[in-house]
Amino acid sequence: MTEKNLIGWQKQPNKLNIQGTIEQAIEQVTKEKVELIGSGRTDSGVHALRTSC
């Protein structure tokens, strides 16, 4: 597997992704189902502006 095979972070049916891959690996080791929750930045090229309140 290389990063070119992955379609992003979030799980999607029948698609190779980071979240699903990590969850499967954890389940293989611990024999327990887990659901990862991630948060992060927006898509590439999208920027937030800081405004004063």
| Average of per-residue pLDDT across 18-26 | 93
Catalytic member of 1, 3, 43, 47: 43
Least confident among 11-15, 28-32, 44-48? 44-48
Active site residue 43: yes
Dihedral sign (CA 40, 43, 44, 50): negative
Please name which of 15, 52, 22 lies closest in space to residue 36, comparing C-alpha atoms. 22
Residue 51 reports pLDDT greater than 80: no
Domain regions of the chain by residue span: 1-38
* Three state DSSP letters for 23-42: HHHHHHHHCCCCCCCCCCCC
Rg (the chain; Cα; Å) = 15
Q: 29 vs 48, which has greater pLDDT? A: 29
pTM of the entire predicted model: 0.63
pLDDT band of 49, cuts 50, 70, 90 = low
Average pLDDT, the chain: 81
